[in-house]
Amino acid sequence: MQQDNCSNTSQFSEALPIYKASSAVLSLCFVLGVPGNVSVMVMLVRRLKEKNFTLRLMLSLAMSDLLTLLPLPMWIWTLLHDWIFGFVACKIISYVEYWCLYSSMLCVTLLSLQRYMQVLHPQKWAKLGDKGQKGLLGGIWILSGVLASYAPVQRQSGCDQYGFKYCYQRFSSDAEQVATSLYEVLLFSMCFTLLVYFYYRLHRGVNESPFFSSNRMTKLVTRIVVTYFVFGVPVTIANAIIAVAVLLKNDQLSVTADLVGKISTALIFLNSAVNPFLYTFALRRIHRRGTVTDFAQTVQNSM
């Protein structure tokens, strides 16, 4: 158990600008993202009667984003002051955050798979049926919960290296820290590889079709995917640097990687705040032009 008195004036002064920058980004994410995701969820719930799997998947993504953003006031307070919410809250909130972040990652990956199957293999996709689609959505939440199961085990409330009392990852050894960083890099890389593969196959299969280039739903999905991975890459780079720093036992590089990791984590939250605006602009345009029809059926009718 670490002591409550964590003050370290020298290191505190060095880290404070980074913490203030992170808290400013998180505040912006909360103010924009929470009402944005709530409004998008209301919009999507009203349209679920269309039985469009893309809309259901977007609803799941919006739920993940909202749950990711709701605890932000606690993290903002901690960055500016200290962690005062206790040991149990540290573990529970950390687990929910990781759970929802992994759920978002799996959702955008499944979006690319769904676009590919529904456009190029509509008969196979149709065999999945309503129950199969609901099973996929449920499977995303279950799998992401399993993938995030390490988060509460490693989380501890105590003093970090900058003099803050914080809810942070505590590793029992250097090997565990390296393994965790590489695990997170691997998950991101696998999802990114699958996403690129399915979108490449999709564009290759329909690159001469004017319908694909004009389909607003597909454009929306593409924007969500690109935005997510643009904001996700810095965290992956930070994890890779952390693994290298630990292996090389380079303390200065470890400190730098840790600070970069805190900023890049704030960018992940920014992605959860940006997504609602992507939904809103595209869905309103679609709504003005009428009800969204089933994508695969439209493709079949256009051929």
Q: What tens digit of pLDDT does each residue of 252-287 get?
A: 887 778 777 777 777 888 888 888 777 666 566 555
Q: What is the pLDDT of residues 198-256, one digit of tens each?
A: 877 877 776 655 555 445 556 666 776 777 778 888 888 888 888 888 888 888 887 77
Q: Is the pLDDT of residue 125 over 80?
A: yes
Q: Is the pLDDT of residue 4 over 90?
A: no
Supply the pLDDT for residue 294: 40
Domains of the chain by residue range: 9-293
Could you give the 3-state DSSP secondary structure of residue 164? coil
CB-CB contact of 105 with 232 (8 Å): yes
Right CATH for 9-293 from 1.20.1070.10, 3.40.190.10, 3.30.300.20, 1.10.3720.10: 1.20.1070.10
Supply the pLDDT for residue 160: 63
CB-CB contact of 229 with 192 (8 Å): yes
CB-CB contact of 155 with 168 (8 Å): yes
Alpha helices, H only, the chain: 9-46, 53-69, 72-80, 87-120, 122-147, 150-154, 174-206, 210-214, 216-248, 251-288, 295-302
Supply the pLDDT for residue 64: 93
Report the alpha-carbon distance of residue 161 to residue 159 in Å, rounded: 7
Q: Is the pLDDT of residue 16 over 50?
A: yes
Supply the pLDDT for residue 303: 36
Report the alpha-carbon distance of residue 94 to residue 170 in Å, rounded: 13
Supply the pLDDT for residue 153: 92
Give me 76's structure tokens.
């903002």
Question: pLDDT grade, residue 73 (50/70/90)?
Answer: very high
Helices 174-206, 216-248: crossing angle, 10 deg rounding: 150
CB-CB contact of 168 with 160 (8 Å): yes
